[in-house]
Structure 1
Amino acid sequence: MEHASSVVDLVGLIVALLLIAGAVRAITKRVKLPFTVALVLAGLALRQLAEHGPKFLETFAAYEVSPDVILFVFLPAIIFESAFNMDVRQLKQNLLPTLALAVPGLMISTGIIGTIVWWATPFDLPAALLLGAILSATDPVAVIALFKNLGVPQRLTILVEGESLFNDATAIVAARILVGVAAGGYVLSAQTALSSTVDFFFVFLGGAFVGWIAAVIFGWVLGRVEGDTFIETSLTTILAYLSFVLAEHTFHVSGVMATVAAGLTMGSWGRAKISASVAGYIEHFWEYMSNLANALIFLLVGLRVDLGALYESLDILPWVILAMLVSRATVVFGLVPLVGRLPGAVPVGLPYRAVMYWGGLRGAIALAIVLSLDNFAHSEIFVALVMGSVLFTLLVQALSIETLVHRLGLDKPPLVDQVGAAEGLLAAKHRALERLPEIQEGGMFSYRIANDLEEVLTAEVRVLRGELEELRHRELASEDERILIYSRVFAAERTIYYELFTKGHISERVYRDLCHAVGHESDAIRHGLALSRDPLHLQDDQRISVAWYKFFDGALGFTGIPERMRLAHVAREYEEAWARYQVCTRILKDLESLVFAESARPGIVAEVRKRYRLWLTAAQGHIDSTAEQFPEFVTTMQERLARRLLVIAEKDIIEAESRAGSIPPGVRDKVMERLESEIRRSRGGEIAHLRLDATEILRQVPFFQGTDKEEFSRVASMLRQRTIPANKSIIRQGEKGETLYLIARGVVRVTRNHNGDSQDLATLIAGDFFGEMALLHHEPRMATCRAVTPTAVYELRRKDFDKACQTCPGLQEALEEADKARKQELAAK
């Protein structure tokens, strides 16, 4: 009975906390107060009422929040949601600057806080450094919300989000190492520092590896589940918590990094494994879980605050807060400008750095770490100091950050956004006017009411048009209007991509890649950068892709996995080019209405039209080159598109018949489930049609033409097919080379960098070969060979070369002749 009573008390407490959190949320919508701050204040008020008020509130004061509840229940939900919804493409492009802030930045902050606290308080250096690590983990929720409202570059928002995500893990790992140093009474020395550094990287990277492996396994399982909300949501929930627990308890590495890696993997590669009908639900589910965990944490923080302990620590607390502010200032104003110079980083202006500095709040991570210090000598005073520091950031910094933004002049929407909002409202009013006759004909209200509404709407349209014209002619410069028009067209692009995705014409991965490309162009136009000639082949993405495939070729080349990945890449690029072609065609067709051409500057409209024609030509060229090199694959893609269009038509008819009552709901559900399954099966590209028959193609190579069938088969068995997407480098000048390449399909451009100038040396087609110079002479590559179109090649490695020459004597002779001729060509150029 006693156990049952305790369970009832716990359930009652949770229900009460949820009711309080809901009430606080409703109040903060009316009162200008941050939700987390209001929750802490509510928790403080509850504690005081419980101690001095009605008896039934004693449960709130008596409840002791366990650090394990925060670490193993709340934290995985918050971390997984952040990682799952992060733009991984943007994060990869900003990975170096993000990690520079998250790891060295946190270490610098830990050192500064520890040094100041050690100098100003009775704590020894290891204990002071531990406090520094605890207080160096930031919660940037206020900054991110402000940045999104202010329209800052997406890369800057990702930088702040990524820093917080990774420095949470860094702080926990560093704190655990320092707890061992402080509790063991070790003297800080070079040996201790080296040992701690090795431990840190093992725990940090080990956690990431565990999370990645777990996500790959769960993604594989998810790919075999079709449209089941319960199973798919359960699997993502198990992944979030299991990765954390496995890393912490089984492998003794970072649970936070495991959950981060699992969330990032599932939010990028794993999204394609989640059924389209379930994806939206899962996003909402994790948003709710994260909000719930945050709400309960901050309520419990307020309930846990002991004002008496805070008062007793007032002689030390100001020094801790000062150290915390100085360390954050050093990182933001000292390290961030240096990080802005790293490859892929975006420079951060001084006003935004000021917002990053003052918005560096402390929250759940710091509290979770300090509450877990049960057997530490200074645990009680540390709890009071961390509570006081968290309260300072919430009650002082969080409440004053909007004032800072106003003082810096960052709260005024850019003129472009003002005009865009006015145009959107004007379009809505026009749409309402168009609907009036339709509604009146339906007999919904009288002619008099309709006439009155029409007069009101007409007057509002007249006023809005006047305001818009004034904004345009008095303040809107040519460059501002250019940004506005491109922004409107990019928004239309996203809408069309979403339509193609929901109809099953493009996969989740392709949809996200295309939206990422639009976001990149939108950021470029807003911040004065040049637009890409081909948004599907961004330079940063190309470098990452080359490095990624090079790693997999070295690590897993023997398995055939890298080749399957390249084939999937070619199929995906065709799908992206097809979608890009559809979008450019529709944009050009509807451009006049999209940009309000009657009031826009003609030169800007002409520029937009020219740009989209250029992109249309690039997409058409990619489609044509793929069709030329891989006709079987393109035929299959067209057949799949035809099947999808027919199935979509069937779905529309079934829906109409169901609404009319001709088809019972149960029958409709079964038919719709079958049709959805057909759409899923016909989505994407079938990579089997990209594979080639080596016998048929290699007979085109001159030195194989005289070889008998048996000898030729032996040589063919030594060759390995490799498929190269368009615009990717196959070999690079200066690299060590031990492979000969035989072109099966496609076009390859050979270029050389000579004294800083790029020279075109040759264009190779099916039946040609390259790479023989490095293979014969054990020299670095003399030129770069790049795929102009999607290209299929066969590789002959050095270890198989001698065997192939014995089987096919003409091979050595042909390669030596080609080597001699190409050396003469290089000398002549």
Structure 2
Amino acid sequence: MRSVETVLALVAMATVVATFAKRLRVPAPSLLVVAGVVVGLLPGVPAVQVTPEIVSLVVLPPLLFAAGEELPWRDLRTVWRPVSILSVGLVLASAVAVGLVVVAITPMSLGVGLVLGAVLASTDPVAVTALGRRLSLPPRLQALVQAESLFNDATSLLVFRVAVSITVVGGAVSWGRTALDVVVLAVGGALAGAVVAVGVAVVRRRTEDPVLESVISLLTPYAAFVLAESVHTSGVTAVVVASVVLGTLAPRLTGAQGRLQQGAVYETVIFLLESVVFALIGLQLPALIREQTATGVMWPLYALAVTVTLLLVRVLWVFPLSALQQRRSGASRPSWQVPAVVSWAGARGVVPLAAALTIPATLPYRELVLLLTIAVIVITLVVQGFTLAPLVRRAGVALTPADVRTEEIMARRSLAQAGLGHLDDLADLEAAPTVVVEGLRRSWLARLHRIETDIESTEDSMSATYRTVRRSLLAVERDELHRLFGVGRISDATRRRIQRTLDLEDAGLEER
């Protein structure tokens, strides 16, 4: 019962915090972590213990799947080379650097330091995606930071398993065995994810019920994760591969009703899971601090040193790589803006937490490793989360609202012209009655006129007036719909169907 009360309290707190985050224009994950820490410091608040199964199996798969679905295959192909270098080289360099720093300043051994370094070496796709949603980054830059955070977990997990094996079991490193582990984890996980994606695509192609499609979509990340883990491969890689494949195929698998249903359901689920997990991260920190403070450990110094090490290694890795790429592309003088944003977009989050919770109890200094992991997660989410948007604005790499609006208007105009061209073809072939074609032509010409008005009007007054008048018409129709239902002339089912149609049209006006 206490667990249910805790979850409900976290959801309620997250709803309030998310509301204030939107009003304050700050990232919700960062504010949720701060709120969790504050609540955890209040007297009388019970200590929260999170089991590995809750994070790894319940929370992580759908969050990874949602992050992967937002990564277009077209953009991923353009950044695969730097992503490969960052996902392997930077992870290894970060793990080794943290291990050396831990040996130098803490009582922990090199093996334990490598375990901590492997846990924190990879950026977190959930945190990076959540922080990046509110930033209008160019497609290539967004794809780079998001793809790196999605694909560097296999390397981090491999280093983590090797470090745990050396430290806990006391085994020697076998390069042949390590190479085999790379193949099994990465390639095996990718194959498992591809198998699940193909199977789900076949099922969804034959499903027309939006509710069933939503259920299948919610079950997909769990199916990929469980299948991969059951054959001892990377469940994280399987979920990422399945999400990218299905995200690419989604327009051909789902109809309009299914997309609307899935969008509403998934946004709600992701909000709840992100809210709970980021709040839990903040709540866990005070209890761990009290335990370590009693032993006299200088954990704040350790956490700060590890965080600075991760940031310095990332900067020293990203800037030379960016300069080399810019020189190859013919740039006369390397710019700092893009590498600065990439370097600062390396927040840690749910994936490091899931890995830290699976550390065996026999590992020396396990509680200190868990405390440092959560402390570094909190520091990066707060510091980088609150300062990433100002850095993006200072660097000038974000798309301006005018750029976004111009691209959208161009697309809408192209769509309207394509529709008019299709009507001309229907009229030439006499494939539809003339009255139908002409009626639709007038409607599409009016749509094209509104788009052209958006382009020509710098003040957007005509477009705003059109939306205002049209929304007032929808309000009149809603009032009439409620009147008809109130006097008993229509059933509740009819009222709900028409209400949904009016709401969809109103939502379309809001998006525009």
Q: Same fold (TM over 0.5)?
A: yes
Note if 1:243 corresponds to 2:228. no
Contact 2:224 2:239 in 1 (8 A): yes
Which residue in 1 is equivalent to 2:463? none
Pick closer, same or farther for the CA change 1:124–1:307 going to 2, 3 Å. Answer: closer
Q: Quick one: which of 269, 294, 300 aligns to 2:274?
A: 294
Residues 236/146 of structure 1: CA separation in 2 closer, same or farther (3 Å cut)? closer
Q: Is the 8 A contact 1:247 1:258 kept in 2?
A: yes
Q: What's 1:689 paired with?
A: none
Give the structure 2 partner of residue 86 of structure 1: 71
Residue 385 of structure 2: aligned partner: 398
| Counterpart residue type for residue 333 of structure 1 | F
Amino acid at match of 1:252: H
Conservation of the 8 A alpha-carbon contact between 1:150 and 1:410: no
Matched, 1:110 2:95: yes
1:20-419 to structure 2, matched below 5 A, reads 20-49=13-42, 52-53=43-44, 57=45, 60-61=46-47, 63-139=48-124, 151-188=136-173, 192-226=174-208, 228-248=209-229, 250-305=230-285, 306-309=288-291, 311=293, 312=297, 313-338=299-324, 349-375=335-361, 376-405=363-392, 408-410=394-396, 417=401
Q: Would you say how many aligned residue pairs link Structure 1 and Structure 2? A: 442
The letter for the 2-side match of 1:389 is V
Distance 1:494 1:367, change over 3 A: farther
What one-letter code is carried by the residue in structure 1 that aligns with 2:253?
A: K
Distance 1:102 1:387 in 2: 22
Q: Supply the distance in 2 between the matched residues of 1:500 and 1:167 (Cα, whole angstroms).
A: 46
SS in 2 for 1:316: helix
Q: Distance in 1 between matches of 2:32 and 2:151?
A: 26
C-alpha displacement of 1:81: 0.7
Identify the match of residue 14 of structure 1 among 7, 26, 30: 7
Contact between 2:124 and 2:346, CA under 8 Å: does it hold in 1? Answer: yes
CA offsets, 1:12-40, max 9 Å, x none?
Answer: 22212111111111222333543122222
Distance in 2 separating the partners of 1:90 and 1:413? 16
1:168, 1:256 within 8 Å by CA — same for their partners in 2?
A: yes
1:209 alignment partner AA: L
Go from structure 1 to structure 2 and tell me whether the alpha carbon gap of 1:146 and 1:254 turns closer, same or farther (over 3 Å shift). Answer: closer
One of 410, 413, 418 as aligned partner of 1:489: 410
Matched to 1:493, the amino acid is S
> What SS class does the counterpart of residue 300 from structure 2 fall into?
coil
- Asked whether the equivalents of residues 100 and 339 of structure 1 are also in contact (C-alpha less than 8 Å), the reply is no
TM-score w.r.t. structure 1 length? 0.48
- Pick the aligned partner of 2:456 from 583, 590, 596: 596
User: What letter is aligned with 1:399?
Assistant: F
Partner of 2:504: none
Task: Tell me, in whole angstroms, the C-alpha distance in 2 between the residues paired with 1:161 and 1:596.
Answer: 36
Going from structure 1 to structure 2, the CA distance change for 1:84 and 1:329 (only over 3 Å counts) comes to same
- Structure with the bigger percentage of helix: 2
Cα offsets for 1:172-203 (capped at 9, x unmatched): 33312321222222345xxx244223312321
| Larger strand share, 1 or 2 | 1
Distance 2:392 2:179 in 1: 39
Q: 1:122 to 1:335 in 2, by over 3 A?
A: farther
Counterpart-to-counterpart distance in 2, 1:99 and 1:259: 18
Return the alpha-carbon distance in structure 1 between the equivalents of residues 180 and 60 of structure 2. Answer: 26
CA contact (8 A) 2:98 2:310 kept: yes
Q: Shift of residue 170 of structure 1?
A: 3.0
Report 1:616-627 matches (<5 A): none
What SS is found at the alignment partner of 2:318? helix
User: Mind listing any 5+ residue stretches in structure 1 that lack a counterpart?
Assistant: 1-7, 425-483, 506-581, 600-655, 671-829
Decide whether aligned partners of structure 1 residues 69 and 144 sit closer, same or farther in structure 2, where only a CA change above 3 A counts: closer
Specify which structure has the bigger relative contact order, considering alpha-carbon pairs within 8 angstroms and separated by 6 or more residues: 2
Q: Distance in 2 between matches of 1:319 and 1:242?
A: 39
CA gap of 1:496–1:183, structure 2 versus 1, over 3 A, is farther
Identity %: 28
CA displacement 1:550-572 (0-9 Å, x = unmatched) = xxxxxxxxxxxxxxxxxxxxxxx
2:469 aligns to what? none
**Contact 2:138/2:399 (<8 A) preserved:** no
Cα deviation code 1:559-603 (max 9, x no counterpart): xxxxxxxxxxxxxxxxxxxxxxx9xx989x97976753999xxxx
Structure 1 residues 254 and 173, CA, compared in 2 at 3 Å: closer, same or farther?
A: same
- In structure 2, the CA distance between the partners of 1:212 and 1:487, relative to structure 1 (3 Å rule), is closer
Is the contact made by 1:140 and 1:360 (CA closer than 8 Å) also made in structure 2?
Answer: no
1:496–1:264 CA distance, 2 compared to 1 (3 A):
farther
1:214/1:243 contact within 8 Å kept: yes
Go from structure 1 to structure 2 and tell me whether the alpha carbon gap of 1:498 and 1:365 turns closer, same or farther (over 3 Å shift). farther
Matching residue of 1:714: none
Paired position in structure 2 for 1:708: none
Q: Which amino acid aligns with 1:122?
A: P
What is the letter of the counterpart of residue 371 of structure 2? A
Measure the CA separation in 2 of the matches of 1:143 and 1:10. Answer: 28
User: Given residue 13 of structure 2, which amino acid in structure 1 is its aligned partner?
Assistant: I
How far the C-alpha of 1:234 sits from its partner, in A, is 1.4
Taking structure 2 as the reference length, the TM-score comes to: 0.75
Show structure 2 runs of 5+ residues with no match. Answer: 426-440, 460-480, 498-512
CA distance in 1, matches of 2:397, 2:191: 42
Distance across 1 between alignment mates of 2:218 and 2:421: 29
Q: Max radius of gyration: which structure?
A: 1
Q: Is the Cα contact below 8 Å between 1:36 and 1:298 reproduced in 2?
A: yes
Matched residue of 2:232: which SS?
Answer: coil
